[in-house]
Amino acid sequence: MGAAKGNQNALGNRGGHPPKYKDPEEMQRIIDDFFESCRGEVLKDKDGETVFNKFGEPVIINQKPPTVTGLSLALGFNGRQSLLNYEDKVEFMDTVTRAKSRCQEYAEIRLYDRDGANGAKFSLQNNFGWKERSEVDQTTTQTITIRVEDTD
């Protein structure tokens, strides 16, 4: 639908919002920042020294799982569907697909973690089209007895 007749402000506007991102490089910078923010930060004590857990590993705070929705919000979208719409644009397809794959990889890794398996399973099914299926092998054994009688 074109601009209303006489509306000089809408000339050339085919409707809708202007694109949030003009090039994939701009989007990639924000994607990289998002994944970096998911890593969290090392906890420091009041003297600025690293705090270690009982296994001798640094304690990480503000760590969060990389999710498709979190990525969408970091990119300034209102929801994940807007991100998915960008995936349909040829120039953004690789950028968005790779970012989503990084979220998917995290969820796959959590499948092997007892505490994160259910959440990972939910994410993979709802964000990445995974399906749970079970195979049933049904074998039936049946005995048929045929009695032949001599009629002579």
pLDDT tens per residue across span 42-62: 999 999 999 999 999 999 999
Determine what percent of the chain is predicted with pLDDT higher than 90: 56
- 60 to 41, 48, 74, 103, 139: CA distances (angstroms): 5, 14, 21, 20, 53
Q: For residue 60, what is the DSSP state?
A: E
Q: Higher pLDDT residue, 12 or 128?
A: 128
Instruction: Report the C-alpha gap between 59 and 44 in whole angstroms.
Output: 8
